[in-house]
């Protein structure tokens, strides 16, 4: 039986890695200007961790998450200004 070296298999991304990836997308200056991003789960990301991230984001004041065509989600927010 042949075994595959560890470097040929991708390891599943953890919740923290998924959060970091999404944070990088959202913090992009172009995305900040339009105040929304379309995000989707990558094949090596756990569906459970992905749902947890979406749930936690949805529970944040000022964040709106909508499912879009396919497997994507539109994450939108409004900039808050003190009057």
Q: What is the pLDDT of residue 69?
A: 86
Q: What is the pLDDT of residue 23?
A: 95
Q: Is residue 2 part of a domain?
A: no
Give the Cα separation of 33 and 80 in Å (integer).
13
* CATH label of the domain that carries residue 72: 3.30.110
Task: Say how many domains are in the chain.
Answer: 1
**Could you tell me the residue range of the domain that residue 56 belongs to?**
12-77
Q: What is the pLDDT of residue 11?
A: 62
Q: Is residue 7 part of a domain?
A: no
How distant is the alpha carbon of residue 45 from its chain centre? 10
What pTM does this model have?
Answer: 0.76
Q: What is the pLDDT of residue 81?
A: 39
Q: Is residue 22 part of a domain?
A: yes
Q: Is residue 5 part of a domain?
A: no
Q: Is residue 47 part of a domain?
A: yes
Q: What is the mean pLDDT of each run of 10 residues along the chain (83 residues)?
A: 51 86 95 94 93 94 91 85 39
Q: Is residue 1 part of a domain?
A: no
């Amino acid at each position: 039986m042949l075994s595959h070296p560890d470097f040929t298999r991708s390891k599943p991304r953890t919740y923290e890695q998924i959060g970091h990836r999404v944070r990088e997308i959202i913090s992009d200056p172009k995305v900040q200007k339009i105040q929304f991003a379309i995000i989707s789960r990558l094949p090596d990301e756990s569906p459970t961790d992905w749902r947890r991230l979406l749930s936690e984001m949805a529970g944040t004041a000022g964040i709106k998450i909508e499912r879009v065509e396919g497997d994507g989600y539109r994450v939108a927010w409004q900039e808050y200004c003190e009057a």
